[in-house]
Amino acid sequence: MNDILGDRKAIAVLLGPALLVYSVAMLLPVLWSLGYTLFSGNAIIGFTYVGADNFVKLANDPAVRQALWFTVKYAAVVTVGQILLGYLLALLYVFVLKNGSSVIRTLVFFPVVLPTVAVALLFQKMFQIAPQEGLVNSLLGAVGIGAVDWFGTAGTSFAVIVLMDLWRSMGFYAVLLYTGLLDIPEELLEAGRLDGATGLTLIWRIVLPLSLPVLLSSLIFSINGTLKVFDTIVALTGGGPGNATTPLTLYMYQTSFNYGEYGYGSTIALLLTVLCLLVTVFVFRSSRRDLTEA
Amino acid sequence: MSAVLAPERSVRPVPPPAPVRRSRGFLRRLPVRALIAVILVIEVYPLVWLLLSSFKTRREFVEEPFWSLPSSLAWGNYAEAWTTGNIGLYLRNSVLAVAPSLALIIVLGVAAGFALEVLVWKGRGTVLLIFLAGIMVPGQMILLPLFSAYFQLGLTGSLWPLIITYTATGLPLTVFMMATYFRAIPREVFEAAAIDGATVLRAFVSIGFPMVRNAVFTVALVQFFFIWNDLLIALTFTNSTELRTVQVGLLNFNGQFGATDYGPLFAAICMNVFGLLAIYLVLNKRIMAGLAGGAVKG
């Protein structure tokens, strides 16, 4: 029977096309991109071999340091925010609203499916100061605080970016963590209640430890997504003011397509890939250790 | 055990008088209701404001406060966005790029998932891992070689670069999700088919595919949202106005109109947002489950 389910011709027919497209348009370019790191130039003017020059440049480039710092700061703040708000919403769904949570769960999830560009333009207009005061500044004016030039300074731009991404994605993490919370056996909660645990104690001592695995996977998903942030920044601030909100992804894009430096662009892309890989492995391993100790 | 149960047993169910309970219940639920109201306002109000603003005339934007209601339904903004703003063209490009990509992703991805999960051969674990690795790779890592390749092949200036790139980047997640769904089908089903004389291809077309039809639809929805909302790939490979997808068009729209002329910009955003809202209203359960299942993509 395994002869039939192991028919080589059939395997080739079913798997072949997908593997071919994936190899040619994904695996090969990754390797090719690794090769680019040793060259300078671009597709139009041609390439010259420069050895490790790009890596030396990478190590000494203040713009890279700035972009790396922004990427890490953004990923840390947004990941913590997403998981925290998502978890609070999930607790609200499961323990307060119970079976009536369906409508609000659906509503809060909705922004997840929206194009980032559309949401970013909406937020840009909401927080705008000139030539016209946006919604937020009008409200601030109405309560007597006065308008703030949100996109004028690095700090306030960062705040708007974080606010927008949390608005967009908290519903997603809420649903992800909600399904995790539903998996907690009712008997365990009941046992906790019989032993006198209520409210916060119940959540802190029983629900939280039991939802660690789903929190961990959410953490990995979130970090992986936030390290690659691109759309939000391009559409909301364009990396400005100056390059204060430029993450590695955008810096790579500008280097490659505005300045035509494919080699250096690939080197930055490699740094980004390694960063994603390291963080995932680190989170995964450190959590493994914790779980076995507990 | 008895010590734990004792207080429970001693509590007698004495219901308090009804009116008192009702008012206490209302007060007790008040904070929760207020919290829900706040959450709803935060999530929904920006979208309502977006819709209202899309109907405002230029004069209303200048003279009225930002939260005021439009005096009439000015469809002129929509007309302007559609014609001068080229939104019609951008929508057509998006559909022309997304539809073939989606079809290719599904056909290739489902077949590959079947071959990797149901069929028995040496090395399938490794191949599945190779596909999995693709989920983590940032788009920036493949843009430059692809750009050079499309340039050399003379494909720049068409939608082919988008279709090829979307298909390749969509495959890892699709293969991974489909393999998971095929794993849930008992192997005996396919073994029975083999005993009854079905070839592998027949078993896939007549049994495997129909059994995961629902899952295929869910995966297609997930991929639709990823591709439709993509900016990075579309921005890289569309070098002229005629090729722009909706998202790239919207980004440029902002520079073209946005600084002074909000009406058409809001109308353009609205067409994008409320089109997706229509899909979401019908299919929200499936979309939520599908996107949560595809969360590995980050």
pLDDT at residue B220 in the model: 92
Percentage, residues of chain B above pLDDT 90: 28
In this predicted structure, which of A36-40, A124-128, A143-147, B170-174 has the lowest mean pLDDT? A143-147
3 state DSSP class of A143: coil
d(CA A1, CA B197): 10
Asked whether residue B50 falls in the same domain as residue B100, the answer is no
B51 near A CB under 8 A: no
Tell which B residues from 63 to 92 touch A, by Cβ distance under 8 Å: 65-67
pLDDT digits (tens, 9 = 90+) for A254-284: 999 888 889 999 999 999 999 988 887 887 7
Asked whether residue B52 falls in the same domain as residue B141, the answer is no
Residue B84 Cα, gap to closest chain A Cα (Å): 19
Task: Look up the domain containing B42 and give its range.
Answer: 16-76
Cross-chain residue pair B232–A230, CB shorter than 8 Å: yes
pLDDT at residue B258 in the model: 52
| ipTM score assigned to the predicted complex | 0.87
CB-count exposure of residue B248 (10 Å: 0-12, 13-18, 19+): buried
d(CA B287, CA B279): 9
Where a domain ends, among B30, B59, B76? B76
| Domain annotation covers residue B150 | yes
pLDDT at residue A211 in the model: 87
Where a domain ends, among B45, B76, B107? B76
Confidence check: pLDDT of B8 > 50: no
Assign B53 a pLDDT band (cuts: 50, 70, 90): confident
Assign A293 a pLDDT band (cuts: 50, 70, 90): very low
Residue B265 Cα, gap to closest chain A Cα (Å): 9
List helix spans (H) across chain B: 2-10, 18-53, 58-63, 76-83, 87-117, 124-136, 140-153, 160-183, 187-195, 200-202, 209-211, 213-228, 232-237, 246-253, 262-293
pLDDT at residue B80 in the model: 82
Asked whether residue B93 falls in the same domain as residue B70, the answer is no
B167 versus A188: which is more confidently predicted? B167
pLDDT at residue B256 in the model: 65
pLDDT digits (tens, 9 = 90+) for B271-283: 888 889 999 988 8
d(CA B165, CA B230): 11
Q: How many CB atoms lie within 10 A of CB A33?
A: 25
A266 contacts in B (CB within 8 Å)?
Answer: 141, 144
Tell which A residues from 67 to 86 touch B, by Cβ distance under 8 Å: none
d(CA B223, CA A272): 24
Asked whether residue B272 falls in the same domain as residue B126, the answer is yes
| Domain annotation covers residue B199 | yes
Query: Considering only CA atoms, which of B181, B228, B230, B188 is closest in space to residue B209?
Result: B181
A243 near B CB under 8 A: no
What is the average pLDDT across A33-61? 86
Q: Could you identify the residue written with the tokens 């430059």?
A: B144
pLDDT digits (tens, 9 = 90+) for A181-214: 888 888 888 888 888 877 788 888 888 888 888 8
Asked whether residue B42 falls in the same domain as residue B83, the answer is no
Average of per-residue pLDDT values in chain B: 83
Instruction: Count each helix (H run) and each strand (E run) in chain A, helices first.
Output: 15, 2
Phi-psi group of A42: left, alpha or beta (phi > 0 → left; psi -120 to 50 → alpha; rest → beta): beta
Assign B66 a pLDDT band (cuts: 50, 70, 90): low
pLDDT digits (tens, 9 = 90+) for B120-137: 888 888 998 898 888 888
Where a domain ends, among B52, B76, B100? B76
What is the average pLDDT across A162-167? 94
Confidence check: pLDDT of B3 > 60: no
Average of per-residue pLDDT values in chain A: 86
Assign B10 a pLDDT band (cuts: 50, 70, 90): very low
Asked whether residue B61 falls in the same domain as residue B94, the answer is no
Cross-chain residue pair A21–B164, CB shorter than 8 Å: yes
d(CA A111, CA A132): 26
- Smallest Cβ distance to A273: which of B138, B194, B204? B138
Asked whether residue B108 falls in the same domain as residue B54, the answer is no
pLDDT at residue B259 in the model: 58
Most B-contacting residue of A11, A26, A135 (CB-CB within 10 A), to test interface: A26
Q: Which two tokens stand for residue B95?
A: 């559909």
> What are the sequence ranges of the domains in chain A?
61-293
Confidence check: pLDDT of B6 > 50: no
A101 versus A64: which is more confidently predicted? A64
Cross-chain residue pair B295–A176, CB shorter than 8 Å: yes
Assign B67 a pLDDT band (cuts: 50, 70, 90): low
pLDDT at residue B232 in the model: 92
Confidence check: pLDDT of B97 > 90: yes
B50 contacts in A (CB within 8 Å)?
Answer: 122
d(CA B104, CA A20): 13
Asked whether residue B56 falls in the same domain as residue B101, the answer is no
3 state DSSP class of A240: coil
Cross-chain residue pair A14–B141, CB shorter than 8 Å: no
Percentage, residues of chain A above pLDDT 70: 96
Into how many domains does chain B fold? 2
Tell which B residues from 161 to 200 touch A, by Cβ distance under 8 Å: 164-165, 167-169, 171-172, 175, 190-191, 194-195, 199-200
pLDDT at residue B9 in the model: 40
pLDDT digits (tens, 9 = 90+) for A90-110: 998 888 888 778 888 888 999
Q: How many CA atoms lie within 13 A of B141 on its CB side?
A: 22
B95 versus A206: which is more confidently predicted? B95
Residue A48 Cα, gap to closest chain B Cα (Å): 15
Asked whether residue B135 falls in the same domain as residue B273, the answer is yes
Confidence check: pLDDT of A138 > 90: no
A273 near B CB under 8 A: yes
| pLDDT winner (highest mean) among A100-104, A232-236, B101-105, B177-181 | B101-105
A5 versus A269: which is more confidently predicted? A269
Q: Domain A61-293 classified CATH 1.10.3720.10?
A: yes
Asked whether residue B66 falls in the same domain as residue B91, the answer is no
| Domain annotation covers residue B10 | no
Cross-chain residue pair B190–A253, CB shorter than 8 Å: no
Asked whether residue B205 falls in the same domain as residue B276, the answer is yes
Assign B252 a pLDDT band (cuts: 50, 70, 90): confident
Asked whether residue B137 falls in the same domain as residue B262, the answer is yes
